[in-house]
């Protein structure tokens, strides 16, 4: 059905405020930031900038601190994304099959999601401090070690704590998403699979998984973006210590812009990350499409 | 096909969940909201005072109305902020009819970022209280007014203020601010622990090393204790050791680090700290360590180097705890601490006459003495001689200030500082020797200084 001119105008008018806000607060800053990334933009050139082409991009890529933070981010994403999805799916399947207290379980698993990142990070820091709860438990309650273990003081120690927090906080979201998807898988398919003699693993493999594939893909893309956006937890738990070893791309970007005034550098960094994320999203979609065709 | 239609619905649910996550983060920003609310009441109070002042003077002198925006980082609830809004600003406005001061309190870290952002959108305030470490950055951005060039009576005002504190705003022979308040670190030590061990406050670096070793180990409750705590490995933390042991970061002109940052003396200072750390005699900079005040107040750290603010922190958190203070232990270079403190500067968009009047007022004997009552060490020489200051237990700090030095006043300081931290961290963790780390660092810093 074709829309009449009048209703088209109406739609345009109704969309206008949202579109304007989107343009002013999203599109314009992105364009401006892209522009900035080609200029020398720091304390010495704050009011009059010089065009330096791809120099900012070069200095980001060759910066050893950026490389460290990038590796940290990749590891964080590679570990937290599958862990959240697998555990979230597992919990969703379990909740889907229990008969009683379904809502109670759902609330319990969803609670970490609605907890503030700041508070959860501080609590995790408190637990894993050298003088924290976990060490107290290990040394004074069950006497596993004689001296305190310094969880937070090394690169992978600090990153592991941040990853644990990410997984703990992410399970609930995955559970809700997968639960909705599971309920959308037609019950008849399970019944006919059962008639064909499928066991529970086969049902999961050949009925459930294909049925929720769209959701798996969706969660994968969202969580990959989320993994690259990790900031609050690492900032509060280790703040890059020791010596920028636990920096992730966003904390490094913030640090370079607001502590050292290198705005051009940070603008370039943000576009490098956006580019990588875009490629990753396309790859993930391709991967899923290929599977579908098989 | 029916299945596919559900996917958008699922996506929507998920998006809403994400939105809920986003909401969960809001407490992070609530602090700033709280302080801006406070500054709103501050403004209201300020305006009320102006109106009162205006009633008495307006008829006599119809001067041109000027509103001065003053940004600072006195905490919103602090006695300093109360003095500022209830005593100092009303007094200034009474003395200078026609000028209204609109004071806004920011969080310390916020203020730095806010100024950066405002510079770009041309919404800078007229005057700001600046952490002295920021002055070189803002100077390089070209937003600070060189006072000695633009103000005819600059020298008279500067002569009345502490020279050492004034160096924090001196860049390339020009002055970009007035020293507003100053501070430095001195040695704090646990009196009981020292008495028990039969020790006196360490007067030299050698004694300091010995005391750290003697006082570390395990306490009666079986907990590990450390002789000394240093909460970071930045210039603020390391400089007292480097300078007191005769080392330095750069040459006098702040243009070169090689030969200074990797000199024998600087390396020795870093090595001394690394050795103490290896022997578990000092700690504090790791993410998992006990926070400074708690560790000191509960007898886990025996010594600290800290500034005057520690007195009220300890009185609030550990009122029973007994400690004493002493000068920074002396090495071959003497007993040299690091200068902290704030400057007051004006931006080039300011109403310069009014801004300069306000800056002179804030550094005057009267204002400085009022602020001294809240624990701010004055930079005004006359205020330093006042009874308020003499009764305020500032004596050890004022003594230490005589030799204290300012960290390099270069725009790339925060980057140099961060490289310094990273290098020294690797020495502490035994990844490099102090000499290797400092040689590499000196080359990097040379490049940063040349920028």
| Same domain assignment for residues B200 and B275 | yes
Asked whether residue B31 is domain-assigned, the answer is no
Question: Residues B394, B270: one domain?
Answer: no
Q: Which domain holds residue B137?
A: 36-184+340-401
Answer yes or no: do A180 and B414 touch at CB < 8 A. Answer: no
Q: How far apart are CA B311 and CA A44, in angstroms?
A: 39
DSSP letters for B212-252 = HHHH-EE-TTS-EEBSEE-S--SHHHHHHHHHHTT--SS-T
CB-CB neighbors (< 8 A) of B3 in chain A:
184-186, 211, 214
Residues of B in contact with A181 (CB under 8 A): 6, 10
Q: Are residues B359 and B439 in the same domain?
A: no
Same domain, B192 and B298: yes
Task: Answer whether A241 sits within 8 Å of B11, measured CB to CB.
Answer: no
Task: Give pLDDT, residue B405.
Answer: 92
Task: Please check whether residues B292 and B436 belong to one and the same domain.
Answer: yes
Secondary structure of A123-163 as H, E, C letters: HHHHHHCCCCHHHHHHHHHCCCCCCCCCHHHCHHHHHHHHH
Please tell me the distance in Å from B114's CA to the nearest CA on chain A.
Answer: 10
Q: Is the dihedral of CA B159, B163, B167, B168 positive or negative?
A: negative
d(CA A230, CA B241): 37
Pick from A272, A277, A276: which is nearest to A58 by CA? A272
CA atoms of A89 and A95, how far apart (whole Å): 10
pLDDT band at B48 (very low <50, low <70, confident <90, very high): very low
If one compares A258 and A230, the residue with the highest pLDDT of the two is A230
**Structural domain includes residue B76:** yes
Report whether pLDDT(B25) > 80: no
Same domain, B190 and B180: no
In Å, how far are A65, A242, A244, A248, A274 from A70, measured between CA atoms? 8, 16, 12, 6, 13
- Do residue B316 and residue B428 come from a single domain? yes
Q: How far apart are CA B357 and CA B365, in angstroms?
A: 14
**What mean pLDDT is reported for chain A?**
90
Residues 24-43 of A with CB under 8 A from B: 43
Tens digits of per-residue pLDDT, B312-342? 889 889 999 999 999 999 999 999 999 999 9
**Within a domain: residue B133?**
yes
pLDDT category at B148 given cuts 50, 70, 90 is very high
Find chain A residues with C-beta within 8 A of B142's C-beta: 46-47
Distance of CA A59 to the CA centre of its chain: 26
The CATH number linked to B359 is 3.40.190.10
Q: Give pLDDT, residue B26.
A: 36
A243 CB neighbours in chain B (<8 A) are 421-423, 425-426
pLDDT at residue A82, as a whole number: 96
Say if residue B113 is in the same domain as residue B41.
yes
ipTM of this predicted complex?
0.79
The mean pLDDT value for B159-177 works out to 91
Shared-domain flag, residues B268 and B282: yes
B203-242 as b/e: b if 16+ CB within 10 A: eebeebbebbbbbbeeeeeeebbbbbbbbbbbbbbbbbbb
In a domain, B30, yes or no: no
Choose the closest CB to B24 out of A117, A131, A177: A117
- Convert the pLDDT of each residue in A231-276 to its tens digit: 999 999 998 888 899 999 999 999 998 888 888 999 999 999 999 9
Q: Kindly state whether residues B96 and B192 are assigned to the same domain.
A: no
CB contact under 8 A, B24 and A244: no
pLDDT of residue A86: 95
Please say if the pLDDT value at position A110 is more than 80: yes
Average pLDDT over residues A119-128: 94
- Statement to judge: residues B352 and B429 lie in one domain: no
Tell me which of A28, A35, A43 to substitute to probe the interface with B (most B C-beta atoms closer than 10 Å).
A43
Q: Do B11 and A128 touch (CB under 8 A)?
A: no
**Is pLDDT of B99 > 70?**
yes
Number of domains in chain B: 2
Q: How confident is the model at residue A139 (pLDDT cuts 50, 70, 90)?
A: confident
**B9 located within any domain:** no
Confidence of residue A100 (pLDDT cuts 50, 70, 90): confident
Domain assignment present for residue B170? The answer is yes
Q: Would you call B148 an interface residue with chain A, using a CB distance cutoff of 8 Å?
A: no
Q: What's the pLDDT at A3?
A: 59
B216-256 per-position pLDDT tens digit: 999 888 889 999 999 999 999 999 999 999 999 999 889 99
Whether the Cβ atoms of residue A233 and residue A124 lie closer than 8 Å to each other: yes
pLDDT band at B59 (very low <50, low <70, confident <90, very high): very low
Average of per-residue pLDDT values in chain B? 85
Q: What is the pLDDT of residues B356-374, one digit of tens each?
A: 999 999 999 999 999 998 8
Residue B203 placed within a domain: yes
Set out the domains of chain A in order of their start, with CATH numbers: 35-293 (1.10.3720.10)
Q: Do B169 and B223 belong to one domain?
A: no
Asked if the structure places residue B207 within a domain, the reply is yes
């Amino acid at each position: 059905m074709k829309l009449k001119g009048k209703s088209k105008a109406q739609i345009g008018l109704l969309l206008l405020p949202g579109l304007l806000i989107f343009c002013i607060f999203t599109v314009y800053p992105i364009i401006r930031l892209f522009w900035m990334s080609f200029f020398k933009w720091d304390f010495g050139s704050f009011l009059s900038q010089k065009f330096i082409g791809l120099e900012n991009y070069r200095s980001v890529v060759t910066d050893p601190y950026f490389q460290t933070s990038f590796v940290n981010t990749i590891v964080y994403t590679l570990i937290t994304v599958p862990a959240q999805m697998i555990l979230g799916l597992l919990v969703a399947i379990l909740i889907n099959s229990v008969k009683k207290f379904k809502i109670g379980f759902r609330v319990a698993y969803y609670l970490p999601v609605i907890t503030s990142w700041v508070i959860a990070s501080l609590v995790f820091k408190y637990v894993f401090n050298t003088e924290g709860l976990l060490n107290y438990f290990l040394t004074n309650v069950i006497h596993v070690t004689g001296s305190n273990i310094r969880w937070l003081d090394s690169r992978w120690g600090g990153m592991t704590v941040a990853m644990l927090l990410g997984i703990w906080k992410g399970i609930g979201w995955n559970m809700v998403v997968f639960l909705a998807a599971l309920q959308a898988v037609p019950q008849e398919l399970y019944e006919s699979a059962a008639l064909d003699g499928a066991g529970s693993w086969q049902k999961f493999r050949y009925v459930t998984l294909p049925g929720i594939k769209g959701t798996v893909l969706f969660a994968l893309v969202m969580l990959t973006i989320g993994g690259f956006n990790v900031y609050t937890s690492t900032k509060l738990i280790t703040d890059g210590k020791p010596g920028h070893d636990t920096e992730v791309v966003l904390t490094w970007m913030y640090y370079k812009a607001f502590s050292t005034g290198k705005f051009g550098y940070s603008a370039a960094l943000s576009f490098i990350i956006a580019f990588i994320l875009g490629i990753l999203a396309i790859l993930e979609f391709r991967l899923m499409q290929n599977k579908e065709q098989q | 096909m029916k299945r596919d239609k559900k996917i958008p619905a699922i996506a929507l649910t998920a998006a809403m969940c994400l939105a809920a996550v986003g909401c969960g983060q809001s407490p992070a920003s609530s602090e700033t909201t709280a302080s801006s609310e406070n500054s709103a009441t501050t403004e209201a109070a300020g305006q009320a005072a102006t109106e009162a002042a205006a009633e008495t003077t307006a008829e006599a002198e119809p001067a041109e109305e000027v509103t001065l925006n003053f940004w600072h980082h006195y905490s919103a609830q602090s006695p300093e902020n109360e003095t500022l809004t209830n005593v100092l600003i009303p007094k200034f406005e009474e003395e200078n009819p026609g000028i209204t001061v609109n004071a806004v309190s920011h969080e310390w870290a916020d203020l730095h970022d806010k100024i950066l952002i405002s510079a770009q959108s041309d919404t800078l305030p007229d005057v700001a209280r600046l952490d002295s470490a920021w002055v070189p950055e803002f100077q390089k951005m070209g937003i600070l007014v060189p006072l000695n060039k633009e103000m005819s009576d600059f020298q008279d005002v500067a002569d009345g203020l502490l020279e050492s504190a004034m160096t924090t705003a001196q860049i390339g022979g020009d002055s970009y601010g007035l020293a507003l308040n100053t501070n430095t670190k001195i040695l704090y030590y646990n009196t009981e622990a020292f008495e028990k061990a039969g020790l006196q406050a360490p007067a030299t670096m050698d004694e300091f090393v010995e005391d750290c070793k003697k006082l570390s180990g395990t306490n009666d409750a079986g907990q590990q204790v450390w002789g000394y705590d240093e909460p970071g490995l930045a210039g603020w933390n390391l400089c007292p050791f480097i300078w007191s042991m005769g080392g330095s970061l750069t040459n006098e002109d702040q243009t070169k680090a090689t030969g200074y940052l990797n000199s024998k003396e600087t390396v020795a200072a870093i090595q001394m700290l690394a050795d103490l750390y290896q022997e578990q005699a000092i700690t504090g900079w790791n993410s998992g360590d006990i926070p400074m005040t708690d560790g000191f107040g509960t007898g886990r750290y025996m010594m600290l180097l800290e500034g005057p603010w520690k007195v009220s922190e300890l009185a609030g958190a550990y009122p029973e705890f007994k400690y004493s203070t002493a000068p920074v232990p002396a090495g071959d270079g003497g007993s040299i601490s690091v200068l902290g403190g704030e400057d007051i500067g004006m931006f080039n968009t300011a109403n310069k006459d009014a801004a300069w009047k306000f800056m002179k007022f804030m550094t005057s004997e009267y204002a400085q003495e009022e602020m001294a009552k809240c624990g701010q060490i004055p930079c005004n020489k006359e205020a330093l001689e006042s009874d308020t200051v003499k009764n305020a237990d500032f004596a050890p700090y004022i003594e230490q200030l005589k030799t204290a030095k300012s960290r390099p006043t270069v725009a790339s300081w925060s980057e140099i500082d961060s490289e310094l931290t990273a290098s020294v961290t690797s020495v502490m963790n035994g990844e490099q020797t102090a000499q290797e780390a400092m040689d590499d660092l000196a080359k990097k810093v040379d490049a940063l200084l040349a920028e």
